[in-house]
Amino acid sequence: MEKLYQKTLKKWGEDAQYDQAVEECAELIAALKHYRRGKIDQQAVIDELADVTLMIGQLTWMFGPRDVEEAIQKKRKKLDQLLQES
């Protein structure tokens, strides 16, 4: 995947990839709203999830996988604590 991420950055640049990530997240938001209203099927949401997942991979690579994983672990710990409080 790293080669794919390198190619996308080389072709479109960082700013374009940031914008693309925002666009894909917005499309997922819209798809989830439409899905809840019964306007689209589950596959449409899955397709948007796939787009966002690819962009998350790209952004993770751009910002540093180690730093992102560290932040995820902190968030998981916090979530676990919140769940124990309930």
> Tens of pLDDT along the chain (86 residues)?
899 999 999 999 999 999 999 999 999 999 999 999 999 999 999 999 999 999 999 999 999 999 999 999 999 999 999 999 86
> What's the rounded Cα separation, in Å, for the pair 84 and 66?
27
Give the model's pLDDT for residue 31: 98
Tokens of 83: 């769940």
pLDDT score at 52:
98
- pLDDT at position 51 is 98
CB 31 within 8 A of CB 40: yes
Tokens matching residue 21: 């990530």
Domain count of the fold of the chain: 1
Q: Which residue range(s) make up the domain with 58?
A: 2-85
Q: What is the b/e burial string over 20-46, where b = at least 16 CB atoms within 10 angstroms of the residue's CB? A: bbeebeeebeebeeeeeeeebeeeebe
Cβ proximity of 30 and 13 under 8 Å: no
